[in-house]
Homo-oligomer: A and B are copies of this chain.
């Protein structure tokens, strides 16, 4: 397969605009110069726009996990009790991360089921927790958790709310003023930039709590204070900052609200196509993600064969399942600059492969369902 020319529908990285790719390939510049300060100032302002905040923000050279690491290690201390809401692979990893920097207790839900705010409230009644962690959009199960309701519980108990928004920020509505204290995203998801940068927004309350005792590279205070002065505490990944600036400009040109609405249409179109093909979504109805769809394989359909043929014969890239969902689902990413046309292209290949592998459905029903949204 020609990996440079694909129908690219991963749950991240996602397809990048040629403007973003060109920005990335610029020659080296001095990262301690007025020219790069201007880049950092743009990235800071655009990051504030992305998070819809006037408060502290940081952009770290590292993956989204570096942002979560910065948030948890900066706000919490090793003796702090934290309630970790776990209903998928990424919230599970978030719990693992908290083990290093705090004293976490998991509250688990089946994969594909949403976090239940009432159970969170009950856990908070039983015992005191300084903080709650939650993965807003569990891309491992294609599910969006009811963040606003969870935030209300956290507020009621005066607990800090630390949110993995890696596959929601810029694609699904999420507001700091719901009562979020730390919100993290990654560059390669709804922003549609390359992987390698993490963005973090914090509440004034969380900023006041930031300490520097648990981390050096991911020291969140240093990153926030640096960016405020058009600077970074350590050498930044310069080409990725160029790329993210360009990608955020494209996002702002579209408008955050417009992108969120368009992403919702992509999610709805995907679900319509899935239904038209006689397939089933993994997550509980009503909680399906608008940025990542997790689709159950019909009985007997082999993941490796399906995705292999899809790539080789139709140069179309989707993702499989992880951990306990390996072999049971495939996942389609539809965020960033992905368009309905990309979904039509993707489903045309998916239909062809499903047919070849013996799944029966009305030929053309999937692409027709996508087209009905255009």
Query: Which residues of A approach B to under 8 Å, CB–CB?
Result: 3-6, 8, 10, 12-16, 21-22, 24-33, 35, 61-66, 68-69, 73, 96-97, 100-101, 186, 188, 194-196, 212-218, 234-240, 243, 317, 319
Contacts and interface: CB of A to CB of B under 8 A. Distances in A.
B25 A217 contact: no
A232 to B, nearest CB: 9
A247 to B, nearest CB: 12
A217 B216 contact: no
Nearest to A238: B195
B15 A188 contact: no
Given A65-B217, A66-B62, A238 B28 contact: no
A168 to B, nearest CB: 16
A256 to B, nearest CB: 22
A66 B219 CA distance: 11
Contacts of A29: 3-4, 13
Nearest to A25: B25
Contacts of A6: 27
Contacts of A243: 239
A93 to B, nearest CB: 9
Contacts of A212: 100
A27 B16 contact: yes
A354 to B, nearest CB: 21
Given A14-B28, A28-B188, A63-B235, 8 more contacts: A8-B27, A13-B29, A21-B27, A24-B239, A61-B66, A68-B217, A194-B239, A196-B236
11 contacts: A6-B27, A10-B28, A13-B30, A13-B31, A24-B24, A61-B237, A62-B217, A65-B234, A69-B218, A97-B216, A195-B236
Nearest to A187: B237
A25 B24 contact: yes
A15 B26 CA distance: 11
Nearest to A166: B235
Contact of A30 (B26, B33, B35, B319): B319
B25 A65 contact: no
Nearest to A196: B237
Given A196-B196, A240-B196, A240-B240, A216 B96 contact: yes
B216 A100 contact: yes
Nearest to A26: B4
B186 A235 contact: yes
Nearest to A317: B30
A319 B31 CA distance: 11
Nearest to A194: B239
A10 B16 CA distance: 30
A24 B215 CA distance: 30
Contacts of A64: 234-235
Given A63-B235, A214-B100, A235-B63, A28 B69 contact: no
Contacts of A236: 63, 195-196
